[in-house]
Every structure is written in structure tokens, then in C-alpha cells.
Amino acid sequence: MTFTAAQIASLINGKIEGNADAGVHSFNKIEEAKEGDLAFLANPKYEDYLYTTQASIIIINESQEIKGQVAGTLIKVPDAYSAFAALLAQYQEMVSQQLTGIQQPSYIAASAKLGTNVYVGAFVYIGEHAEIGDNVKLHPHSFVGDKVHIGDHSVIHPSVNIYHHCQVGKHVTIHAGAVIGSDGFGFAPQQDGSYTKVPQIGNVVIEDNVEIGANSTIDRATIGSTIIRKGSKLDNLVHIAHNTEIGQHTVIAAQAGISGSTKIGKNVMIGGQAGIVGHITIADGARINAQSGVSKSIKQPNAAVTGSPAYDYTSTLRSQAISRKLPDFEKRIHQLELLLKQLMTEKV
């Protein structure tokens, strides 16, 4: 399918410089694009490719200064990266709409309710009284437990397991292998040294426009709900423990782990492999550096921390800078001691 520069500009509210009838049928990186490709330029590191690329259409920032001859048609927008992302999302939505119907073999309980234009892939299981919204895509081998609710336009990728009573909002994407609603890690220690399992009877609530990466796990609450608020994005291999609450538009990078009953504010950024202990709060806008170990609440909004135990980011960098100079300081102190000893000997 071919799209013209005029059609693309109308979708992203861009201004055309060049041939409005130029057409593209595929996407590519600006450094590798060829005729018929659509590319974009957002990172200044790739500016030189603007003048060598063979892309037929290039989306650029309206602030971009043109310093040479450009072969393709330009579409100028306030933010090229966001515009390109929006365009890809529209393209993906168009492609996914082609997936409809129920493949066999699959199991759908008689009491389950399915909306319109639903796709149910082969070997999907849908339990009793489950509710599947309009335009939902359930890819092969996914499991939807009893009384699960999945909102409109959500995409459940292959081999995702959503346990009973969990709720998934609208426009949610859950990638392959993720587990939603497995038991929280609750065990009561006994006098004989053994552990008795604490039943986990709560659920998981995932609000609208959330994305959950592959092989991530979100535990159900002991009682109540583990909650992922709207707009939050979880990378692959992220673990969220029972009764945790993730605030709106928070992003969590791969291999991070959050212990039980922790409350994360909105617009928080958590780096990869960070670990957060249970029963603490993280203020809105906090930034937690990769591999940090957070052992106490972060109460100041927009604070940045790093290290283990996590500490103020700027202060930690200063401490690290000083620690790197310690060998030199030791050498200078030794020299001063020798000089002082020599002066005292001469005085005597």
C-alpha cells in the first residue's frame, strides 16, 4: 500500500516542503532508506544523513536548519520523533484490524462475553464469565481466567497468562510470556522453622493505555488490588509484587523489581535492574538510576537517586569523584608527613 506525502502530512499535521505527491510504501532508518521509504530525523547525530539519504519522504523537526540539498520530500512537524511514533501506531492499528475471528482449536466458556471484531488465536483459553471488549486481539496460547475483564482495543500477545478476576483496561498491550495475577509472595513463618502460605485473594487492575513487556510478572494482591495506573510503561522482565501501586505515566526499565505494598507516584522513571523494598512510597517525578537499591521512601517530588543504598544523585556523583582521587590524596598526605618530619628535624 502506497501513501503520499500529502496523506502523511494530514495524519501528523505536518508542513510539506517538496513534492506533495511523492509516495512511500515502507519505513526505514534514515541512514539505510531507499527510494519508496519513509524516514525521520530527530537525533542531531544523524543530521548528515539528511543530505545523503535516498528516502522519498523524511519527517523532520520544524526547527531543523537545512544546510544542503535534500533529495526527498520533507514533512516538518514540531517533534519528529513523536510524529513518527504516532504514524507507526496508526499503521500498526491498521494492520492489526485485519486480524479478526476465532481460530481453532480454542476454548471459550459458554458464559464468556466477546465484543465485536475480536481476534482469538489458536489454543487460546477464555474462562467462565470473562468479558472481552471490542477489537481485542488474543494471540495464540494466551490464557484468560474466570471473570477477567479486558477493555476495548487491547492486545494480548502469545503465551500471556491473565489469572482469574484480573482487570485489563482499554488500549493495553501485554507482550509475550507476561503473567498477570499470579500469587503474591506471602508466607507466614512458623515456630518450627517452616512457612505457611498466606492465600492471595485479591487481583490485579491494569488501567488504560498501559504497556507491559515480555516475561514481566505482576502479582495479585493478598487482599484488595495490585494497581498499574493509566499510561504506565513496563519493560521486559519487570516484577511487580503484591499490593503495589504504580502511578500514572510511570516508566520502569528491564529487570527492575518492586517489593510488596510499595506506592510509586506518577511520572516516575525507574532504571534497569533497580530494586525497591516493600512498604515505602516514591514521590511523583522521582528518577531512580539503573541498579539502584531503594531502601527507604523518597518523599521529595522530582528527586533523583542512585547507588545502593540509593542516595541523592548529585551528591553521589560528587562522592564518587572524591573517592577516585583518594590514592592521590594519600600520596600527597604522605609527602606532607615526610616534609613535616624533615622540618621538625632541622628545627631541632
Give 42-61 pLDDT, tens digit per residue: 999 999 999 999 999 999 99
Residue 242, pLDDT score: 98
pTM of the model: 0.81
| CA–centroid distance for 124 within its chain | 26
Number of DSSP helices (H) and strands (E) in the chain, helices first: 4, 40
Residue 140, pLDDT score: 97
Residue environment code for 230-247, b if the CB has 16+ CB neighbours within 10 A, otherwise e: bbbbbbbbbbbbbbbbbb
Measured distance CA(249)–CA(284) in Å, rounded:
10
Q: How confident is the model at residue 125 (pLDDT cuts 50, 70, 90)?
A: very high
Residue 97, pLDDT score: 67
Whether the per-residue pLDDT at 314 is higher than 90: the answer is no
What is the length of the chain?
Answer: 348
Q: How confident is the model at residue 173 (pLDDT cuts 50, 70, 90)?
A: very high
Section 296-310 average pLDDT: 92
Residue 340, pLDDT score: 86
Classify the phi-psi angles of 20: left when phi > 0, otherwise alpha if psi is within -120 to 50, otherwise beta.
Answer: alpha
> Which of the two residues, 322 and 22, has the higher pLDDT score?
22
Average predicted confidence (pLDDT) for the chain: 94
Helix H or strand E encompassing 348: none
Grid cell, residue 126, equals: 477464555
Least confident of 163-167, 183-187, 193-197, 331-335: 331-335
Residue 326, pLDDT score: 84
Neighbours of 169 (CB within 10 A): 21
Q: How confident is the model at residue 328 (pLDDT cuts 50, 70, 90)?
A: confident
Least confident of 9-13, 16-20, 149-153, 341-345: 341-345
Q: How confident is the model at residue 89 (pLDDT cuts 50, 70, 90)?
A: confident
Residue 128, pLDDT score: 98
Whether the per-residue pLDDT at 226 is higher than 90: the answer is yes
- Residue showing cell 631541632: 348
Whether the per-residue pLDDT at 212 is higher than 70: the answer is yes
Cα dist. 269→79, 217, 247, 274, 298 in Å? 21, 19, 11, 11, 13
Neighbours of 227 (CB within 10 A): 22
Measured distance CA(216)–CA(93) in Å, rounded:
24
- At the top level of CATH, the class of 101-315 is mainly beta
Burial of 309 (0-12, 13-18, 19+ CB in 10 A): exposed
The domain defined by 3-96 carries CATH number 1.20.1630.10: no
Q: Which residues are catalytic?
A: 242
